[in-house]
Chains A and B, each alone.
Chain A
Amino acid sequence: MRYNFYVSILTCLWSTLVFSQLDSIQTLNEVLVVDRQIKTFSTGQLVFDFSKTELQNSPGTLTDFLQQETTLFLKQNGYGMVSSPSFRGTTAQQTAVVWNGFNINSQFNGQTDFNTLLVDGFDELSVRAGGGSVAYGTGAIGGSIHLKNEMRFDGETEVEINSRYGSFNTLQNLAKVSTSNDTWSLSMAISRLSSDNDYDWPNTNRQNVNGEFEHHNLNLNLSTKLKRKNTLTYHGMYYNGDRHFSLLFPTDNKSKYLNEDHRHALTWESDFQDFKSVLKMAYFDEKYQYIANIDTPNPAESHAKTALSRYSLHYNIKDFDFNFLSEFNYSSANGDDLVEDYRTVTAFALLAKNHFQKLTSEVSFRQEFSNVYDSPFLFSTGLNYDWFEFFSTKMNISRNFRMPTFNDLFWENAGRTDLKPEISNQAEISGILQTKSKNLKISVTGFYNDITDMIRWIPAENAVWKPENVDEVETYGLESHIHFQQDFNQHKFRANASYAYTISENKLTGNQLTYVPKHKLTSGLVYEIQKFKLQLQGIYNGELYTRSSNLPNDILEDYVLLNFIMTYQIPIFQNFTISAQVRNLTDEAYQTVENRPMPGRHYFINMNINI
């Protein structure tokens, strides 16, 4: 019966397409899967995984990392300042940041400031372009960024210390400990990043003023295997940021932003024969203070709390994977500018996947119910097909959404509870070429995304800005990735490149959205010989419009950034590596936001001890 239901839906949606299977996800038994949905239910989409070594290789925050490694464009109000991504031509609020399976975008503005997340404490980061609302709810429109902590039960104990110092008195330290036996696993990471960030503005006689920041991040993960295949896991994260906002003009009032977030999640996982039952309870707390003038501080504060429980039942029978998901989410917020209120969201989702020879297919649905807005019916369907050993294709069609945030709903004298959620209907298709030896992998993806009822704050009477469901946007484009590696005896070469062509049009005017470059190219070259490693990284960001009118003068120029990294593993001390980096090698003067110059050539040295 269930099978028939499943088949009929599939035939409906993909009547003309006949495909077969691919993906066999291999998870070592001793590693606990944290974010199960992305592992199992990404059919038709490409997922890029990055290991902790890669995360630690990049200085600083999520911004620095994603800018180099992905096709995302990130605009920053000067280095380290407010950073918002554009993922496939969408906005920051349409990019979900998922921490160990939970969407952690701010309750206030619905986005994550990518300069307030330190990545070096995490074990894995995955980037999935395209819709993900069925599994992750609001905001997963352009794509999702998944930060994960790994729980191992392999009896290993590891201590890692990483220390980086560089230009502008930038200091970054990480201490990480993990230990485990058959039944217990513990990992802890403390990281800290601070910088005076007082770089010279290229081609001017000015300096970046009031740009200093200091971030602290703490991750704690504890897991225990109980009797009868039960596992209990705790994930905790604490974040504290103290960031000044750099000045446009030397006489501007100096402002700063403090935020303190903590998040806790408890997971109880039980394995039965074909079933896996996962109960999660989580509590998130986010607090910020904005001080408009640090000389006469009068902080504006807001505080949001979220409690949620999620029950997830996985059923695996023969070639089928089913996942039933239900979630209840209660959030409340109050603040100097917010009317105190709450929002509840109840969600149900069903995800189903089938392997049949060379075809993997997936159909998923989600429906949410909220006390403050009407939620659309969401779905996602995907196909993977292995044509040959070296060539496969993927397709995905989905409907995703973004709900109005607390600011949209409850901002004093401006928020509106009659807002509708933003809705995105999208489709993508990919071709993946991979040689048998896996030396070369090429993927090309075409995507289309139609977004309606986009919420924008526009000026109303008396200079008050109010949110409205005004915009309709169409985005489409191409993404392509190449990975190549080759070893010649002791010489190891690796090369990566990605390119994105993005059109993101306001349907009313036909103009490209501001701060969405049409072209972005990244590349990385690595050469290793014995204990030496040389790396050259490049980014090309095409020109972009700063104004919605798209006039020829309203642009930021394109630019090329190069980084050079040299790493040496000290022979007498096996686990001690030292590296030096030159960033912005050619001293390019560039801006990602108008009138906000970024740093010229600068340097870092890095030491890593792994015991």
Chain B
Amino acid sequence: MINKFKFFTLLLLSIFIVSCSDDDSIDDVSPEGDYQNGFFVLNEGSPVGSVSFMSSDFQELSNSIYENKNDALLGSYLQSIFFEDDRAYIISNGSNIITVVNRYTFELIDTIDSDLNIPMFGTTHNGKAYVVNIADFSTGADDYLAVIDLETLEVETTVEIGDFAEEIYEDNGMIYVQNTNYGIGNSVSKFDPNSNTFVQTLEVGEGLNSTDVENGKMFAATSEGLKIVDLNSFSIENTWELPNTLNSIQNVTVDDNAVFYTSGTSVYSTDLGAEDLSSEAILTYESNSDYGVFYGFKVEDSQIYIADAGAFTEAGTILVYDISGQLIADFTTDIGPNGFYFQ
């Protein structure tokens, strides 16, 4: 009875407010969706994954936003999200499914669920999506690129990559695939979306483990150090040798004329104009397990985002630092956080 009363009061009140305001101000009060200012954290899951959203002031965290909106699950082992216009495409590699949602409301639009086989990463170009599929984990021979029409959400064609495949980027009308798989592989291949063929492969270096692309350059962390590939000429433009004091570098990401990378539980950065790779840590964080560190890592607008997956038996931890290494936020999301995506 009381509930009903409250409900009607609210209803009346809202009608009153709505009728009092003009159309423009309604748009201001309720923007395009709940997930306007902030970032998504993708949680891989064990096995069923989820997406969390954190407001840009780190005040409001929403977990399992897809489930709560659509009363459905996203699939097992979520790998990555790619975006095009107002849509987000969430890739589940355990369930061979790409869930298409409105990126601001997270309302389900459709799913892409055929002709995928362990999809990992995707990018878009000219109305098409290009998604890397691993197929059989034990071999790179069957890895392929699925070309998806973003209008029909159908896989148009598939192209064999001929090698392991992981990350994928679009730059200046060309598609680039990192040919590695969990630490195996050392090259990058170039795909021409006009002819749907792989046109060139470049050996980047032994132990290639991560890449990032910015302004026509690819930054690649290898066991030899950090390599910069000029994508236009598709050749290695510069090599920064691995500093003696670091065993390895991982998780390369570029932000504002500086390249960031990790080693152990520390974060480093080097200005793009610098001579050598810096071995001076910006920050070192405590991980509650010795492993599962930097399961997700990203630098955006001079803020450092770290996802620590712990032992994968409970929600992972998100840590946000400023560029000087001061902690500015600390919260938990869900099992296996592996990526940050900014609105």
Question: Chain A residues in contact with chain B, CB under 8 A?
Answer: 248-253, 292-293, 296, 298, 300, 456, 458-464, 514, 547-549, 551, 554, 594-595
Q: Which of A252, A300, A461, A595 contacts B291, CB < 8 Å?
A: A461
Can you list 27 A-B contacts (CB < 8 A)? A248-B48, A248-B94, A248-B95, A249-B76, A249-B95, A249-B97, A250-B113, A251-B97, A253-B117, A296-B142, A300-B138, A456-B311, A458-B289, A458-B292, A459-B291, A459-B292, A459-B311, A459-B312, A462-B182, A462-B183, A462-B209, A514-B313, A547-B315, A548-B311, A548-B313, A549-B315, A551-B315
What is the interface size of chain B, counting residues whose CB is below 8 A from a CB of the partner? Answer: 34
Say yes or no: A292-B136 contact (C-beta < 8 A), given A248-B94, A253-B117.
yes
Q: How far is the CB of A535 from chain B (nearest CB, A)?
A: 38
Find chain A residues with CB under 8 A from B313 CB: 514, 547-549
Q: Is the CB of A293 within 8 A of B94?
A: no
Q: Is the CB of A548 within 8 A of B314?
A: yes
Q: Is the CB of A249 within 8 A of B75?
A: yes
Q: Which 6 A-B pairs have the closest CB atoms?
A: A549-B314, A249-B95, A462-B183, A548-B313, A547-B314, A251-B113
Find chain A residues with CB under 8 A from B139 CB: 298
A464 to B181, CA, bound (A): 12
A456 to B75, CA, bound (A): 26
A293 to B48, CA, bound (A): 19
Q: How far is the CB of B292 from chain A (nearest CB, A)?
A: 5
* Most chain A CB within a 10 A radius of its CB, from B94, B138, B183, B314: B314
Find chain A residues with CB under 8 A from B311 CB: 456, 458-459, 548
Q: Is the CB of B76 within 8 A of A252?
A: yes
Q: How far is the CB of B133 from chain A (nearest CB, A)?
A: 11
A123 to B285, CA, bound (A): 59
Q: Is the CB of A595 within 8 A of B73?
A: yes
A253 to B183, CA, bound (A): 24
Find chain A residues with CB under 8 A from B138 CB: 298, 300
Find chain A residues with CB under 8 A from B314 CB: 547-549, 551, 554
Find chain A residues with CB under 8 A from B137 CB: 292
* Chain A: CB-nearest residue to B137: A292
Q: Is the CB of B183 within 8 A of A547?
A: no
Q: How far is the CB of B115 from chain A (nearest CB, A)?
A: 11
Find chain A residues with CB under 8 A from B47 CB: 248, 595
Find chain A residues with CB under 8 A from B182 CB: 462-464
A460 to B142, CA, bound (A): 27
Find chain A residues with CB under 8 A from B96 CB: 251-253
B135 at the interface (CB under 8 A from A): yes
* Most chain B CB within a 10 A radius of its CB, from A253, A460, A514: A253
Q: How far is the CB of B47 from chain A (nearest CB, A)?
A: 7
A298 to B136, CA, bound (A): 8
B13-70 interface with A by 8 A CB criterion: 47-48
Q: Is the CB of B309 within 8 A of A459?
A: yes
B80-135 interface with A by 8 A CB criterion: 92, 94-97, 113-114, 116-118, 135
B335 at the interface (CB under 8 A from A): yes
A340 to B113, CA, bound (A): 40
* Chain B: CB-nearest residue to A547: B314
Q: How far is the CB of A461 from chain B (nearest CB, A)?
A: 7
Q: How far is the CB of B233 from chain A (nearest CB, A)?
A: 31
Q: Is the CB of A547 within 8 A of B95?
A: no
A251 to B111, CA, bound (A): 11
Find chain B residues with CB under 8 A from A458 CB: 289, 291-292, 311-312
* Chain B: CB-nearest residue to A252: B95
Q: How far is the CB of A578 from chain B (nearest CB, A)?
A: 43
A544 to B136, CA, bound (A): 35
Q: Is the CB of A249 within 8 A of B335?
A: no
Find chain B residues with CB under 8 A from A296 CB: 135-136, 142
| Additional pairs, 13, CB under 8 Å, beyond known A249-B92, A456-B311, A595-B48 | A248-B94, A249-B75, A249-B94, A251-B113, A252-B95, A292-B136, A298-B139, A458-B292, A462-B182, A462-B183, A464-B183, A514-B313, A548-B311
A296 to B133, CA, bound (A): 14
A581 to B72, CA, bound (A): 34
B140-188 interface with A by 8 A CB criterion: 142, 182-183
A296 to B96, CA, bound (A): 15
A551 to B313, CA, bound (A): 12
* Chain A: CB-nearest residue to B248: A461
Find chain B residues with CB under 8 A from A300 CB: 138
Find chain B residues with CB under 8 A from A463 CB: 182-183
* Chain A: CB-nearest residue to B312: A459
Q: Is the CB of B312 within 8 A of A251?
A: no
* Chain A: CB-nearest residue to B76: A248
Q: How far is the CB of B50 from chain A (nearest CB, A)?
A: 12
Q: How far is the CB of B76 from chain A (nearest CB, A)?
A: 6
* Chain A: CB-nearest residue to B112: A251
B294-316 interface with A by 8 A CB criterion: 309, 311-315
Q: How far is the CB of B251 from chain A (nearest CB, A)?
A: 12
A550 to B209, CA, bound (A): 35
A547 to B310, CA, bound (A): 12
Say yes or no: A253-B312 contact (C-beta < 8 A), given A298-B138, A459-B292, A463-B182.
no
A514 to B335, CA, bound (A): 14
Find chain B residues with CB under 8 A from A461 CB: 291
Q: Is the CB of B73 within 8 A of A249?
A: yes
Find chain A residues with CB under 8 A from B135 CB: 296
